[in-house]
C-alpha cells in the first residue's frame, strides 16, 4: 500500500511460501462452549497454527448478519470458505462464490496444550471498491500462486494473531431496499459494514480461546478496507468498543458517502434494473424507474438476476467506464456504505480534521493514481475530462469567482499539457496523465494529509511507500506501468500489501525481503505498542502541515534503500489548494453521479 525502518528489521524474514503450512501439520482443536470445538492445523516446523473458513455469522438477503456462537464438536477449519458474490458473478462459472460467505481465518503462534495468552490481535479488512475481493485473495492475477494476506509471519515471527474475513459486497452488501420507513432500518443498507462489526464482535467473544487479548485489537485495511476502517473510526459509535487502534493503507480518505436520501434514490434505480432483468426487457444501459416495484418479493430473484442487475446499474451510472478508473473522485463508487443516521452517523471527511480518538497509522503510495487512470485509458476519447473536472470541483476554471489558482490552469491537471515520457510514467497519453495526477493528489496524497491531530495527541503516525511494484497484485491494464519492477519505478495502488504481510515470492531479492520484514515488524510493533511507542522508536509522529510551512511533511518513508523524501509533497502536489479552495463542488452523491452520466458517454 526508508527513513523509518526498524532496528528489528535486522531479522531478515522468509517469504510467504517458506512459512507455508508443512505437510507434517497436525490437527489442533480449540474448545468452545457446549462441547463444540474448531479444528485447524499446527505446523511444528513453521511454528504457527492456522484456522481457515470459520463461519462467524449467518445472514438472510438484505438483512443484518447474526453472529455464530456455537459449533459442533471438531468443526473443521482447514479450508478457506467461499467468497461473497463479486461484481460480474455467474453461477455457471463461479462456484467458489456464495451468499453464505461470512467466514474468517485465524493465524496464531503455534498452538500448544498450554497456549500463549494475551497476544495482540490484528484484524484485516480486504479492499476491492466494495464490489470485489476476499480474505484469501491470491496473486498474480489468473495464476493465483501466492496467498496475499498471509498471516504466517505475523504469527510465527511476531507473536501476533492475524484475523482476516469476508463481508458482503455490491448490492447485497450496500443497497438499502426497505422503503417503508428508512429511519427504522437498523443498518441502513450497510450490511457489509455490519458484517465487519459482527466479525469484530466474534473476535471479542472468542479470541481468548486462541490466545488473543480482546483489549488489544488493531483494525487495519487497504483501499476499500481502509475506507471501512475509517468509517469504524470516525463514522459510527456502534463499533468503538470492538477495537483499540487503526491502520489505514491507501484510503481515499476524503470520499463522501451517500446519505439516506441518496441511498433511496439509488435503490429505486437498482430496483428498476432488477425489474428489467426479470422481465427480460431489452434496454440500453437504462434502469427506468417506472419498472421499479417497491413491493416486489426480493427473495424471488436469483443471484444471477442480482448480478446482472448490478452490472446494468453500474453501466447506467458510468456508461461502460471501467469502475476502477475513477476511484477517489466524488460519487465514483456505485456501491458504498450509507450515512444513514443510525448505524453510520458521520462523514469521515468531516471528522478527520479533529484528530483520532484511537492510535492511528495512515499512509499512501507514491503513484496511487496511475493504476486507476490506466484502467480508464481505453475510454479516454469519450471522457469529457475538462467538463468533468469543472462540474466536480470548485476552482476548476478561470471563470470561477475568487479563484486565483485553478485546477485546469495547473499544468499537472490540464488535458492541454504536453507531458514528457518521464512525466507520463508509462501512461498512454496526456489526458490520462492529467487524470492520474488529479486522482493521486486529490484523493490520496492531500486528503490523507488533512488528518489533523489535536494539540495533545501523540499517537498518530504516517508513512509514504515509494518502493517500485515488485509483483502483479491487481489485474493488468495494458502497459507495465503498474507491473513488476516497471521501468518508471512506479509504486502503484496495493504495491505495499505483499510487504506488509511478508508474502512476496520466495525468489524475491534480499533487499525486498528485508523491506518486507521491516514493514511487517512495524505493523506488528504498532499492534503491540500502539499506546506508547507505536510502530517504532524511530518513527516520527504526524503533524499536519500548514499552508505556510516550508518543512517536509512528517511522513515515514518506506523503500529498500532508505532513500529520504526528496520533495515537499504537500507543496508539489498542491495540497494547500486541494485542502482549501479546490474542494468538491457538490457534496450530494447523486448530483455527482449525474455529472458522470452527463460527461462520460
Beta strands 119-125 and 161-165, pairing class: parallel
CB 16 within 8 A of CB 2: no
Q: How many CB atoms lie within 10 A of CB 191?
A: 25
Tell which residue, 374, 135, 365, 329, has the closest CA to residue 250: 365
Q: How far apart are CA 542 and CA 352, in angstroms?
A: 13
The three grid cell numbers given for residue 253, joined into one nine-digit string: 480518505
Name residue 527's beta-bridge partners. Answer: none
Q: What angle do CA 456, 246, 43 make, to 5 degrees?
A: 140
Helix (H) / strand (E) element for 578: namely: helix 575-578
Answer yes or no: are the C-beta atoms of 424 and 435 closer than 8 Å.
Answer: no
> What would the grid cell of residue 202 be?
466474534
Let me know if 383 is exposed, middle or buried by CB neighbors in 10 A (0-12, 13-18, 19+): buried
Do the beta carbons of residue 455 and residue 354 sit within 8 Å?
A: no
Pairing of strands 103-109, 48-55: antiparallel
- Spatial distance between the Cα atoms of 585 and 592, rounded to a whole number of angstroms: 9
Q: How many helices (H) and strands (E) does the chain have?
A: 17, 18
User: Is the distance from CB of 127 to CB of 133 less than 8 angstroms?
Assistant: yes
Residues designated catalytic = 223
CA distance 203 to 217: 9
For the chain, the distance separating the N- and C-terminal CA atoms, rounded to the nearest angstrom, is 32
CA atoms within 13 A on the CB side of 370: 28
Task: For the beta carbon of residue 552, count every other beta carbon within 10 angstroms.
Answer: 16
Q: Is 121 within 8 Å of 527 (Cβ atoms)?
A: yes
d(CA 74, CA 30): 9
CA 282 – CA 275 distance, rounded (Å): 11
Q: Among residues 101, 119, 102, which one has the least CA distance to residue 110?
A: 119
39 forms beta bridges with: 29, 76
| Residue closest to 203 by CA, chosen among 175, 252, 164, 255 | 164
Amino acid at each position: 500500500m526508508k527513513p523509518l525502518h526498524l532496528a528489528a528489521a535486522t531479522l531478515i524474514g522468509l517469504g510467504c511460501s517458506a512459512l507455508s503450512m508443512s505437510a507434517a501439520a497436525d490437527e489442533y482443536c480449540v474448545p468452545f462452549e457446549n462441547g463444540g470445538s474448531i479444528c485447524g492445523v499446527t505446523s511444528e516446523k513453521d511454528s504457527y497454527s492456522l484456522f481457515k473458513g470459520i463461519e462467524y455469522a449467518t445472514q438472510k438477503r438484505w438483512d443484518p448478519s447474526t453472529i455464530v456462537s456455537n459449533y459442533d464438536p471438531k468443526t473443521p477449519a482447514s479450508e478457506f470458505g467461499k467468497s461473497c458474490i463479486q461484481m460480474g458473478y455467474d453461477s455457471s462459472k463461479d462456484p467458489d462464490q456464495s451468499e453464505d460467505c461470512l467466514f474468517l481465518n485465524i493465524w496464531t503462534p503455534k498452538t500448544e496444550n498450554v497456549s500463549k495468552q494475551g497476544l495482540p490481535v490484528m484484524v484485516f479488512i480486504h479492499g476491492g471498491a466494495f464490489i470485489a475481493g476476499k480474505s484469501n485473495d491470491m496473486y498474480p492475477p489468473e495464476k493465483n500462486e501466492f496467498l496475499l494476506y498471509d498471516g504466517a509471519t505475523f504469527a510465527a515471527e511476531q507473536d501476533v494473531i492475524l484475523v482476516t474475513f469476508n463481508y458482503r459486497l455490491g448490492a447485497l452488501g450496500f443497497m438499502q431496499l426497505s422503503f417503508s420507513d428508512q429511519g427504522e432500518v437498523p443498518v441502513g443498507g450497510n450490511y457489509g459494514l455490519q458484517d465487519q462489526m459482527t466479525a469484530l464482535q466474534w473476535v471479542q467473544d472468542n479470541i481468548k480461546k486462541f490466545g488473543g487479548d480482546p483489549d488489544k485489537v488493531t483494525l487495519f485495511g487497504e483501499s476499500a478496507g481502509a475506507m471501512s476502517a475509517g468509517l469504524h473510526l470516525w463514522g459510527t459509535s456502534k463499533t468503538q468498543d470492538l477495537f483499540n487502534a487503526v491502520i489505514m493503507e491507501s484510503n481515499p480518505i476524503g470520499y463522501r458517502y451517500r446519505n439516506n436520501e441518496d441511498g433511496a434514490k439509488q435503490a429505486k434505480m437498482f430496483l428498476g434494473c432488477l425489474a428489467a432483468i426479470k422481465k427480460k426487457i431489452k434496454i440500453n444501459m437504462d434502469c427506468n424507474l417506472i419498472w421499479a416495484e417497491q413491493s416486489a418479493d426480493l427473495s424471488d430473484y436469483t443471484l444471477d438476476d442480482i448480478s446482472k442487475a448490478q452490472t446494468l446499474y453500474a453501466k447506467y451510472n458510468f456508461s461502460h467506464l471501467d469502475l476502477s478508473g475513477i476511484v477517489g473522485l466524488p460519487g465514483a463508487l456505485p456501491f458504498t456504505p450509507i450515512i444513514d443516521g443510525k448505524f453510520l452517523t458521520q462523514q469521515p471527511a468531516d471528522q478527520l480534521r479533529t484528530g483520532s480518538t484511537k492510535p492511528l497509522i495512515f499512509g499512501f503510495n507514491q503513484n496511487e493514481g496511475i493504476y486507476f487512470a490506466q484502467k480508464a485509458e481505453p475510454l479516454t476519447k469519450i471522457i469529457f475530462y475538462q467538463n468533468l473536472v469543472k462540474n466536480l470541483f470548485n476552482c476548476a476554471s478561470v471563470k470561477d469567482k475568487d479563484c486565483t489558482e485553478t485546477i485546469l490552469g495547473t499544468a499537472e491537471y490540464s488535458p492541454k499539457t504536453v507531458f514528457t515520457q518521464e512525466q507520463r510514467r508509462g501512461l498512454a497519453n496526456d489526458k490520462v496523465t492529467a487524470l492520474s495526477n488529479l486522482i493521486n493528489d486529490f484523493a490520496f496524497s492531500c486528503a490523507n494529509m488533512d488528518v489533523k491531530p489535536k494539540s495533545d495527541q501523540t499517537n498518530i503516525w504516517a508513512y509514504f511507500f515509494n518502493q517500485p511494484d515488485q509483483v502483479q497484485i491487481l489485474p493488468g491494464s495494458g502497459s507495465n506501468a503498474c507491473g513488476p519492477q516497471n521501468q518508471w519505478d512506479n509504486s502503484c495502488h496495493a504495491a505495499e500489501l505483499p510487504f506488509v504481510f511478508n508474502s512476496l515470492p520466495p525468489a524475491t531479492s534480499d533487499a525486498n525481503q528485508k523491506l518486507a520484514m521491516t514493514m511487517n515488524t512495524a505493523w506488528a510493533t504498532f499492534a503491540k505498542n500502539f499506546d506508547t511507542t507505536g510502530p517504532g522508536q524511530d518513527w516520527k509522529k504526524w503533524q499536519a502541515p500548514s499552508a505556510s510551512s516550508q518543512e517536509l511533511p512528517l511522513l515515514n518513508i518506506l523503500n529498500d534503500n532508505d532513500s529520504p523524501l526528496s520533495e515537499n509533497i504537500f507543496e508539489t502536489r498542491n495540497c494547500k489548494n486541494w485542502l482549501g479552495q479546490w474542494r468538491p463542488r457538490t457534496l450530494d452523491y447523486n448530483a455527482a453521479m449525474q455529472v458522470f452520466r452527463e460527461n462520460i458517454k
